[in-house]
Structure 1
Amino acid sequence: MALHLAKQGIGVILTYHSNEVEAAATVAEVEALGQHAVALPLNTADSSSFDAFFERVNLALLNTFGTDRFDFLINNAGTSLSALIAETTEAQFDEMMNIHLKGVYFLTQKSLPLLADGGRIINISSGVTRYSYSGVSAYGIMKGAVDVFTRYLALELGARGITANVVAPGAVFGGGTMPDSPEMRTYVAANTALGRVALPDDIGGVVAFLCTEEARWINGQRIELTGGMHL
């Protein structure tokens, strides 16, 4: 996503939870494409840290980008969980809620003073809000709530010219939390109309498109990027 944004001429503030080395490498790749980039640490499960985080964002905007606003918020932080309903613990449920729902809600809320009028919010959801697998109920519930939250964002922020949309990938291999094995790739490909697994490039370009002027009239929508899984 960051690289596709850079190719659209958009500078990037990206966040990382623990992998500072990979974040720095991504910053270097964005800079090699001619755009400014900054990587900041962020734990989206800890909403009490958001005020301090946005203080760092404000400094990065001023020092690196020469502005006090940003144009696009992409809520992409996430983890995975495989546990049947009968076996899911409250701690696991709370972790899913904090990262995938509460974190998205309040990080977005805290971002609104810095988000420019006419900007865009893109929330990353999942194909499992349409189809179901055993063992992903807590994850799927939170992503479904993000779908609903996005429609409310579109409604309430329309007066500022801000759009809000959902991008819902399916199984993506090559950098995410999806377990990667030949058996899993064969299973996903067999259940996908286009007959292959998804790669990060299949997602990044659509996210970047939603940040272009051509996408200005897309609002309150869920765009599924699964290649046609489980049709």
Structure 2
Amino acid sequence: MSTFKVAIVTGGSRGIGRDAVLRLAQRGVRSIFTYQTNREEADKVVALAAQAGAPAIALALDVGDSASFDGFVEQVRKALATLGVQRFDYLANNAGTSSSATLESITEAEMDALYNVHFKGVLFLTQKLLPLMNDGGRIVNISSGLARFSMPGRIGYGAIKAAVEALTRYMAVELAPRRIAVNVVAPGPIATDFSGGIVRDNPQVNSAIAQHTALGRAGLPEDVGPVIAGLLSDEFGWVNAQRIEVAGGIHI
């Protein structure tokens, strides 16, 4: 049995996922993380993870394309061998897309895309990876504050994230015999390039979020990455089937 842990993080080349990979590296956790198209940014994360204390391997994956998962699992097998193990310990289903559609404007194609990435992708990628996961491992799914509070233009995204929270509890029940704990992290608005960078780059939006947040500012990736890394550790071994909102107290 290896003396180090291995994590798989989807969407690890940017934003919250990037910070999670680096926080895991600081803990000595080796990572296999995915990116969709930007190999250059993924390579930067690989270099930063090595500097932080642990190797990381970047693999391309579109989490909305479940037909590609079998091939991805074979890539994971090879990556694990490169890291010196046959199985992994932690999974963070982080990759995602945004939507600003309203009830009147959302299309079936847009809703299908949200479902494929955020729900179907999480469900079936986890299913495909489970044979490679060690018993006693940990899974973190990513939801959103929008699963708890509502606002115009988030009807598809917020609703599908609420479904992810229900999925998390069912995963925790079914994986209990293997002692695999499953939790969900729900970030509030985070200043990244997500959703066109609206929180990071629009001063009016950023200020409005700060005014509705108890701690007085919008979130940053480094607010969320440590929480994911923490929940993927043995230190939180008795936390299971829980929703952890990381939002500075927005809309309390």
Q: 2:56 aligns with which of 13, 33, 37?
A: 37
1:175 offset after TM fit, Å? 4.3
1:20 offset after TM fit, Å? 0.8
Q: 2:106 aligns with which of 88, 91, 102?
A: 88
Q: What aligned pairs does 1:156-175 form with structure 2 within 5 A after superposition?
A: 156-175=174-193
Partner of 1:188: 209
Query: How far apart are the structure 2 equivalents of 1:229 and 1:11?
Result: 33
Query: How far apart are the structure 2 equivalents of 1:20 and 1:212?
Result: 28
Q: What aligned pairs does 1:108-187 form with structure 2 within 5 A after superposition?
A: 108-177=126-195, 178-179=197-198, 180-187=201-208
How many residue pairs are counted as aligned between the two chains?
230
**Residues 113-171 of structure 1: per-residue CA shift (max 9 Å, x gap):** 01110000000100001000111111111111110010011111111110000000010
Q: 1:71 aligns with which of 68, 79, 89?
A: 89
Q: What aligned pairs does 1:192-203 form with structure 2 within 5 A after superposition?
A: 192-203=213-224
Partner of 2:28: 9
Secondary structure at the residue paired with 2:34?
strand
**Residues 25-60 of structure 1: per-residue CA shift (max 9 Å, x gap):** 001000112211100000011000000001000000
Secondary structure at the residue paired with 1:85?
coil
Q: What TM-score results when the alignment is normalised by the length of structure 1?
A: 0.98
Task: Give the aligned CA root-mean-square deviation in angstroms.
Answer: 0.9
Amino acid at match of 2:96: G
Partner of 2:240: 219
Amino acid at match of 1:37: A
Query: How far apart are the structure 1 equivalents of 2:220 and 2:243?
Result: 20
Whether the 8 Å CA contact 1:125–1:166 is kept in 2: the answer is: yes
For structure 2, the 5+ residue unaligned runs are 1-19
1:22 offset after TM fit, Å? 0.5
Whether the 8 Å CA contact 1:175–1:200 is kept in 2: the answer is: no
Q: What TM-score results when the alignment is normalised by the length of structure 2?
A: 0.90
Whether the 8 Å CA contact 1:127–1:168 is kept in 2: the answer is: yes
Whether the 8 Å CA contact 1:54–1:111 is kept in 2: the answer is: yes
Q: 2:120 aligns with which of 77, 91, 102?
A: 102
Amino acid at match of 1:220: A
Secondary structure at the residue paired with 1:113?
helix
Query: How far apart are the structure 1 equivalents of 2:39 and 2:194?
Result: 16
1:19 and 2:38 are equivalent in the alignment: yes
Whether the 8 Å CA contact 2:187–2:246 is kept in 1: the answer is: yes
For structure 1, the 5+ residue unaligned runs are none
